Amino acid sequence: MSTVIKEFSRFAHQYDKHNEIQARVAKRLVEKVPKKHYSSILDMGSGSGEVCKNVMHQGISFDLFSAFDSSENMLSLHPQNKNIKKICGNFNNEGFSTLLDQKTYDLILSSSALQWSENLDLTLSCMSALSKRLYAAIFTSNTFKTLHETANIDSPIYNAEELERSILKYYPNAHFELHRYTLYFDSTREMFRYIKKSGVSSGEKKLSFKETKRLMEKYPLDYLEFEVLFVEAKNV
C-alpha cells in the first residue's frame, strides 16, 4: 500500500470537514458536464462521493454509476443505491480496468484524484479505451506553490504542461482550463492541520517536527494556494 492510499484511509471519517476545495472543484467539474442521461458513468478516485452527489443534484441521470477508489474506507462513505456500484482498485495497476463491471462507459469523471497517477500513460491509455468522453479536474504542481518554495521542496505532483501533453496523446481534442483557488486561515497552525487532514499533501517528502515548526514560522501567506486543471475531452 502506498503512502497516498494510507493517508486517505486514515482520515476517511474526517475527510468531509476538510475538503472545502475538493468540494468546490467537484461542483465546478460537474457543472461542465452536459445535463442529460448517461447509460454508464465511471468515477475514477471517487472518494466519499462528492462527484456522485453533484451528478445527482445537478440533474444528470444514469443507469449505472461505478465509483472506483483504492480506499475501502472512502468507498464506505460513498452514497449507495441499486444503480451505484463501488469498486476498490488502484488506477496505477496495469489491468485495473478488469476490475470494472463494464468494458466501456458512456462517460468518465474524475475529480481531485488523477494527480496521484504514478504513470499517466498507463492510467490515461486505459481510460481512453474505456470511454470516449472524459471530464476531469486534476491538481497541478502549483498547488501549495509558496509552501513548497519556502520549504525548498519539489511538488510531488505533475505540472499543468506535463498533464496537458499526456492527456492530448489519448484525447487529442481535449480542452483545458486552469483554475486557481485560495483558502484563508486564521492561524498557521490551523493551516497546517488542514494540509495534514485534507489528503492533498499525500506523497510529499515528510518533514520532521522541527522542519515543520520552522516552515510554519517562515511561511509568508495567510492562505494556501491551489491550482486545478479542468479537462473536457471527447474522442469521436
Ligand X SMILES: C[S@@+](CC[C@H](N)C(=O)[O-])C[C@H]1O[C@@H](n2cnc3c(N)ncnc32)[C@H](O)[C@@H]1O
Q: Which is nearer to ligand X, 47 or 156 (CB)?
A: 47
* Amino acid identity at 161: E
Q: Is the dihedral of CA 199, 179, 30, 164 positive or negative?
A: negative
Q: How far apart are CA 114 and CA 121, in angstroms?
A: 12
Burial class (CB in 10 A: 0-12, 13-18, 19+), 81: exposed
Alpha-carbon span 235 to 211, nearest angstrom? 47
Q: Tell me the three cell numbers of residue 180.
A: 486557481
Between 40 and 143, name the residue whose CB sits nearer to ligand X: 143
Angle subtended at Cα 184 by Cα 181 and Cα 188, rounded to the nearest 5 degrees: 125
Task: Report whether 199 contacts 102 (CB < 8 A).
Answer: no
- CB 160, CB 109: distance < 8 Å: no
C-beta of 142: minimal distance to ligand X in Å?
Answer: 16
Q: For residues 24 and 132, which CB has a smaller minimum distance to ligand X in the complex?
A: 24
The residue of the chain with the least Cβ separation from ligand X equals 47
Query: Phi and psi (nearest 5°) for 48?
Result: -85, 10
Q: How far is the CB of 46 from ligand X (least distance, A)?
A: 5
* Binding site residues, ligand X, CB under 6 A: 4-5, 8, 19, 22, 26, 45-47, 50-51, 69-71, 74, 90-92, 111-113, 116, 199
Nearer to ligand X, 3 or 104 (CB): 3
Q: Smallest distance, Å, CB 228 to ligand X? A: 11
- Minimum Å gap between C-beta 218 and ligand X is 27
Q: Which is nearer to ligand X, 20 or 211 (CB)?
A: 20
Distance in angstroms (rounded) separating the CA atoms of residues 187 and 107: 41
- Per the listing, cell 486505459 goes with 126
* Minimum gap (Å) between residue 91 Cβ and ligand X: 4
In the bound state with ligand X, the residue whose beta carbon lies nearer, of 38 and 116, is 116
